[in-house]
Amino acid sequence: MNASPPPTTAARPSALQLAVRLLGAGLAIAFVALLAFGLTTTATDRSIDESLSRGVPVQAPGFDLAAFEPGDPGRLAPVWRRATADGRVSLTELRGTPVVVNFWASWCDPCRAEAAVLQRGWRAAERQRVLVLGLNQQDARDDARAFLREFSITFPQVRDPGKDTARSWGVNGIPETFFISRDRDVVGHVIGVVSDDQMQLGITAARTGRPVGARTGGEQRPTR
């Protein structure tokens, strides 16, 4: 009677093959992690716009930034002096005053296109005790100051050297303009270069607290 053949044993992978497999698995995990990170950091947060589309104002995310240029606050000088007493400005310190926040940078060509619109809007807003506030981001100080001089901008300015504030507000491009009521609710939003009509509509919304929704303006440049 013939003896049955011994059971076959699968060949064990070599150390090199194991290393290659482990490397491949590691690369796959890293790719998935990188993709997830990219989605969470580049996707625009549209929660403000979604709320405004339903006619519901939403609490502004807030900020606490260095005061950059005071401009000429006019009737709102007492508000500005109080808010900047420590050299910084928070949105909480401006509670009780309607505010228009404009995200901009000197390297942004569309920001140059809307500078005159914002300055005209500021003249009208100041008479109604609505503060227009420029939020300069990702910019060199000297370049930003040269921009303000070139376009004779007189509304106050704060500064964020990076884009953390923009990210918390869901801003991925500039310019963008938010209209905020005296209760710190966002009642209007313009994505891109704001027009005179959009500016006036937003100022009225900030003063009255009645939401006007999110609107598309002119051109934008991606944040850096």
Rounded to 10 deg, the angle between the 196-208 and 109-127 helix axes is 40
Q: What architecture is the 47-222 domain classified under in CATH?
A: 3-Layer(aba) Sandwich (3.40)
Q: What is the pTM of this model?
A: 0.80
**What's the pLDDT score for residue 47?**
84
Tens-digit pLDDT string for the chain (224 aa): 555 555 555 556 666 666 556 665 555 444 433 333 333 333 345 789 999 989 899 999 999 999 999 999 999 999 999 999 999 999 999 999 999 999 999 999 999 999 999 999 999 999 999 999 999 999 999 999 999 999 999 999 999 999 999 999 999 999 999 999 999 999 999 999 999 999 999 999 999 999 999 999 999 999 98
CB atoms within 10 A of CB 133: 26
192: exposed, middle or buried (C-beta count within 10 Å: 0-12, 13-18, 19+)?
A: buried
**What's the pLDDT score for residue 31?**
41
For the chain, the structural domain boundaries read 14-43, 47-222
Rounded CA-CA distance 115/151 in Å is: 7
**What's the pLDDT score for residue 6?**
55
**What's the pLDDT score for residue 212?**
95
Rounded CA-CA distance 164/144 in Å is: 18
Rounded CA-CA distance 174/110 in Å is: 8
